[in-house]
Structure 1
Amino acid sequence: MPMAIRIHRTGGPEVLTYEEVSVAAPMAGEALIRHTAIGLNFIDTYFRSGLYPAPNGLPFIPGNEGAGVVVAVGEGVSHVAPGDRVAYVGPLGAYAQERLVPADRLVKLPNAIDDRTAAGMMLKGMTARYLLRRTFRVGPETTLLFHAAAGGVGLIAGQWAAHLGATVIGTVGSDDKADLARAHGYTHVINYNRENFSARVKEITDGKGCDVVYDSVGRDTYPGSLDCLKPLGLWVSFGQSSGPIADFNLGLLAQKGSLFATRPTLFSYIAARSDLEATAQDLFDVVAGGVVSIGINQEYALADAATAHADLEGRRTTGTTVLLPG
């Protein structure tokens, strides 16, 4: 029987258990895949801790992203076939050697993209794509701030935004991470442990502020992120790695310049099959074309997922991390 990580109770990394699971034959509209690599993302810790409730309750297998080979398909599935190399961002269940996936969530991998790169980039890369090309359309006139610039989404977004001609400002927590961000497209990098990021952004922009702030940190960067925006600027809150914002004051948007705010998720932007395909194709193009480099900076065995979670939450990781199912 295949092995998987299951969560029987929510909590810290210690609740991740490695055990045998049974996997049924695919039903209509499903595909059975054998993972070759699995992506690790901060959202995985939200489900593990209980901050985000698992849709089908306990126990559950975490993980939203993976790459592998199609083993079998159910009735009505025609766009993938056994033997195809595929990747996906989809429903929970990725922390497993084998799993069933709704076939309409699978995209075929081009030869130029290897499995580990695909597993580590689908969620982060497609997140960067919708943030930069749809939530706010970044171009040469754009000045933006991206928090957690040395994180998985941040490193992809920095390269992509620089390619689009933007002035790209990032925040990090150490000098090593600052160097990493600069090597991935960031024009200016702020170490928030040594500088007030809001004041520094004002200096960098000659008091004008940014057009858009991308904020996956949450509690620790609010409301400072709003002070980084020019009037009518957009605050994009797409995560909460430091904890949720306990009391969002809508009135601050008026006080700080008639600002806009949004709380987007990738799954809304790729709900339609056509949007999924377009988003994935844009990502494949920039990676295969050398515009965006995906650095797999950490690899862990699937059985060691608890260690991977502890390192991720302890901010001991940079860029992209994958779990290898063995």
Structure 2
Amino acid sequence: MTPTARTVVIETHGGPEVLTLTDRPVGEPGAGEIRLRHKACGLNFIDCYQRTGLYPMTLPHALGMEAAGVVEAVGEGVTHLAPGDRVAYAANPPGAYTEARVMPAAQVCKLPDAISFDEGAAMMLKGMTVQYLFHRTTPLKAGDTVLFHAAAGGVGLIACQWARSEGIRLIGTAGSDEKCQLALDHGAEACINYTTEDFTARTRELTDGRGVDVVMDSIGKSTFLGSLDCLKPLGMMISFGNASGPVEAFNLGLLAQKGSLKVTRPTLFAHTADPQACQEMAAMLFDKVTSGAVKIRIDQRFPLDQVAEAHRALESRRTTGQTILTLD
């Protein structure tokens, strides 16, 4: 009999109510694939975008982009992993919300013994996102200033610590005084409560009117234009998420008017498509964590069968730090 695993799937796009837990056959790995048994799964905004159809998928489809666990079997041609290896990943195709799965091996990374499965499941997508923001998108050096939106979220708290470890001045934004304090505790030099302050004006004050070198923005529609006004001439706007909705069309001439600004819309999976690059990015992340420079803060844990409530909490911004789905 083919073993099965509890797996979260959607048969139609929509709200959290479309998430369904079902038993699915696992199967055996083919060439270039592995079978792994998950210990914990990560939760990310991209999962919500796929569920709603903002990022359409062929349906029905399993959800989830990151997890950690133990390799059970490897297919032909897989040389960097072996049965029994502790691993973690953030990778396509979606399907991480499950007890076990068969998937491509190339973007799966060995997890150091010093990092727990819960931490591994929580850190890969967000941590490698921070890695490409700081090291693969635009040159950054000690002394540069970054404005980082949603600084108390999962990506944000890693970014605050990462910036501090590299001497980069990070100004954060968050939606409450409590969340601002959390960002400050994790290394932000300053944090702006955007519900009580104009983040553009305050950023200008904090930089003596000069503006910041880079804006890193996962909020999207509601913060995009204001963020452009936070940049110094020749500054870089990195729009890497859509929490408030996708950025609307704008006049490209604005970039010239505001100081020859640069704008990019990167995705993690473009950076990790090359297997060697993916492994190198993960290695840098693992070094940051094992050295203590970055601590992975898991503030929410939901059992797999409560995945709909986990999505509701994430979308309503009731979460801080990392959120994982547990399988015990």
Question: Does the TM-score normalized on the shorter chain lie above 0.5?
Answer: yes
SS of aligned partner of 2:311 = helix
* Residue identity opposite 1:199 in structure 2: A
| Equivalent residue for 2:175, pick from 173, 183, 187 | 173
Aligned partners of 1:236 and 1:64: how far apart in 2?
22
Q: Which residue of 1 aligns with 2:51?
A: 48
Whether contact under 8 Å (1:36, 1:115) holds in the other structure is yes
Q: TM-score, normalised by structure 2?
A: 0.97
Q: Is the 8 A contact 2:107 2:279 kept in 1?
A: no
The one-letter code sitting in structure 2 at the alignment partner of 1:84 is D
User: What CA RMSD, in Å, does the superposition of the two structures yield over aligned residues?
Assistant: 0.8
What percent identity do the matched residue pairs reach? Answer: 56
Partner secondary structure for residue 179 of structure 2: helix
Give 1:27 shift: 0.8
Match of 2:85 in 1: 84
Asked if the contact 2:10–2:20 (Cα under 8 Å) also holds between the matched residues in 1, the reply is: yes
Q: Could you tell which deviates more after superposition, 28-37 or 244-253?
A: 244-253
Equivalent positions of 1:234-249 (< 5 A) are 234-249=236-251
Contact 2:86 2:110 in 1 (8 A): yes
**Cα deviation digits, residues 48-94 of structure 1 (max 9, x gap):** 0000012xx00001111010001111112221111111111111010
Alignment partner of 2:219 out of 201, 213, 217: 217
Separation of aligned partners in 1, 2:223 and 2:251:
14
**CA shift at 1:137, angstroms?**
2.9
Aligned to 2:255: 253
2:106 maps to a residue whose letter is D
Q: Distance in 2 between matches of 1:89 and 1:101?
A: 12
Residue 60 of structure 1 corresponds to which residue in structure 2? 61
Q: Is the 8 A contact 1:67 1:86 kept in 2?
A: yes
Greater mean alpha carbon deviation, residues 183-192 or residues 75-84: 75-84
Aligned residue identity for 2:186: H
Q: Secondary structure at the match of 2:61?
A: coil
Report the counterpart of residue 182 of structure 1 in structure 2: 184
For structure 2, list consecutive stretches of 5 or more residues without a partner in the other structure.
Answer: none
| 1:202 aligned partner | 204
Q: In the alignment, what sits opposite 2:290?
A: 288
Q: Say if 1:90 and 1:101, in contact at 8 Å, map to a contact too.
A: no
The within-5 A match list for 1:273-312 is: 273-312=275-314
Once the two structures are TM-superposed, the CA of residue 262 in structure 1 deviates from its matched residue by: 0.3
1:51-130 mapped onto 2 (5 Å cutoff):
51-54=54-57, 57-91=58-92, 92-130=94-132
Q: Is the 8 A contact 2:149 2:156 kept in 1?
A: yes
Listed as ranges, the gaps of 5+ residues in structure 1 are: none
Classify the secondary structure of the residue corresponding to 1:99.
Answer: strand
Letter in 2 for 1:98: A
Give the one of 136, 139, 147 matched to 1:137. 139
Question: CA contact under 8 A between 1:32 and 1:71: conserved in structure 2?
Answer: yes
Aligned residues: 324
Aligned equivalents of 2:222 and 2:149: distance in 1? 11
How many angstroms does 1:230 deviate by? 0.2
8 Å contact from structure 1 (residues 34, 97) kept in 2: yes
Amino acid at match of 1:51: L
Could you tell me which residue of structure 2 aligns to residue 20 of structure 1?
A: 23
- Answer with 270-279 or 315-324: which moved more: 270-279
Ranges of 4+ aligned residues in structure 1 off by more than 4 Å: none
Deviations 1:132-171 (A, max 9, x none): 1121232222011000000111100111111111111000
Q: What secondary structure sits across from 1:220 in the alignment?
A: coil
TM-score, structure 1 length as denominator?
0.98
Shift of 1:116: 0.6
